[in-house]
Every structure is written in C-alpha cells, then in structure tokens.
Structure 1
Amino acid sequence: MTPDQVKLVQQSFSKVVPIADQAAILFYDRLFEIAPQVKAMFPADMTEQRKKLIAMLAAVVNGLGDLPSILPAASALAKRHVAYGAKAAHYPVVGAALLWTLEKGLGEAWTPDVAAAWTTAYGTLSGFMISEAYGSAQAAE
C-alpha cells in the first residue's frame, strides 16, 4: 500500500467510527445475504461479534502505516477462523460485504480512490491471512 492509500483508508474509517454500530449491522446483514451458509458459524446474538468486528477493523486501520506491526495478530486471527469453519473461499465474500458496507456508510465520501485504497488494504491483509491459515498454495487460488 502506498502512504496515500493508507491515509485514505484511515481518513475514511474515521467517518465510519461514529456509525460503527450501524455499519457492523449492515456488514453482517450483507454477509448473510450474499453467503447465507456462513451464518451457522456465528452466534445467534451478534452484539459481541459486531463489537469485535469494529475493534478489529480499528486495529488494522490504525496499524496500516506499520503493516508488520499488525501481521502477528492477523496471523493468529486467520488461524482461529479455521477452527470456526472459515475457508479461503470465504475471504473474497467477506471483502465484498466489507466494501459494500463502506460504500453505503460513506456515501459520497466513497470515491474511486477510497474504493481502490480499501480494496488494496483488504486484498493485502486477506492474502496474508489465507497464506497463514491455509498455506501459500491456497493463497494463490
């Protein structure tokens, strides 16, 4: 990621923070709409899960300027997700739900540059997580 892309992601996320609860609801509603099979991996009461999502996003966004600082936590998270039943194929679906949520939440602030920056950020992190959880062969798929 370029420094400008990091800045765009961080600035745009600061606009999501005030609507974090609504954004988390939008995200999971969208995820379960486009991938209903993953709903079984989540608790019936999503309150804590939504808080974890926003906290994780905040940690990643804040650490983008020093990517190596967030990689150990991303690796551990990826490995935990395997135990929950997550597959490498789920990562693009989660990314699509995330980008859709950001587009809805940011409205006019969702510019092509912001979209590209978030796409790069998610692609970088999800590629690393897939590699950590499933090995480099899966990451190439």
Structure 2
Amino acid sequence: MRQDAQLVRDSFEAIREMSTPTAMLFYGRLFDLDPSLRGLFHVDFKVQSGKLMDTLSLVVESAERLEKLRPTLRELGRRHVDYGVRPEHYQTVSTALIWALAQAMQPDFHDDVRAAWTRILDEVCQEMMRGAEQG
C-alpha cells in the first residue's frame, strides 16, 4: 500500500495543476457511461468539481493510512444514499475517474500508476458502500 500511496501522491501533483479540466473530463465521461447519473447532480459543476478535487486531495493525502479515513468515507457513503447513489454507481464512478486521470496525465499514466489508483479507489468505494449499507 505504501508504494501505491506514493504513486498516487506523485501523480496527483500533475492533476492539481489542471483540476477543473480533469473534473470536467470526469463528469463528461461519467454521464457518457451512465446518462441517468446526471439527474443526481443539482449543483453548479464548477462547485461540484471543487468538491470532487477536495475529496480526491483528502484521499491522496491519506492514502498510506486509509484506515484512519474509514469513518469519514463511511459517512460520505451514508450521505450519498440520500443523493440517490446506488452500489452499482461506484464502479461507474471509478471507471470514469480512472479514464479522466489517464486523459489528463498522458503519457505519464503508466500501468503501475493506473493500478495504484485503481486499488486505492477500490478501497475508498468499499468503505463508502459499507457506510451506505449501515445508513
């Protein structure tokens, strides 16, 4: 997990510099993959993009110690139930996010970076789904 955390942290530095375009790539891809998800968003996408990047920053900063982030992720999962998020949406979100990161970072989004992001996002999604189940 330590190596994954380092790869994610290092790669996120490039994303910080272009956070808004990366977020817009993400939402565009998300709605391409599942157009029904557009109805879950009732805020300005610039605001939503900021929230996405704030959450990613928290995950990146906590990547080596995600266990400490579990209560926050579970609470986030509980709140997302109220927004209409279902368990099957988490895979779609992960797929769209990995795609957006790859687009933003190319050609630096190597297989090892992709794998690290995938493992960490999988853990984040699992914790959020646990919170959703508990809520």
TM norm structure 1: 0.91
Once the two structures are superposed, the pairs formed by residues 1-141 of structure 1 within 5 Å of their partners are 2-43=1-42, 45-134=44-133
Provide the rounded CA distance (Å) in 1 between the counterparts of 2:36 and 2:58.
28
Deviations 1:20-56 (A, max 9, x none): 0100111111101111001001025212111100000
1:68 CA displacement: 2.1
* Count of equivalent residues: 134
Preserved contact between residue 88 and residue 134 of structure 1 (Cα < 8 Å): no
Q: Stretches of 4+ moved more than 3 A in 1? A: none
Which stretch of structure 1 is more off in the superposition, 67-76 or 5-14? Answer: 67-76
Provide the rounded CA distance (Å) in 2 between the counterparts of 1:68 and 1:5.
15
Q: Secondary structure at the match of 1:108?
A: coil
TM norm structure 2: 0.95
Q: Secondary structure at the match of 1:109?
A: coil
Provide the rounded CA distance (Å) in 2 between the counterparts of 1:27 and 1:108.
18
Q: Percent identity among equivalent residues?
A: 32
- The RMSD of aligned alpha carbons is 1.0
Contiguous gaps of at least 5 residues in structure 1: 136-141
Contiguous gaps of at least 5 residues in structure 2: none
Preserved contact between residue 76 and residue 131 of structure 2 (Cα < 8 Å): no
1:128 CA displacement: 1.6
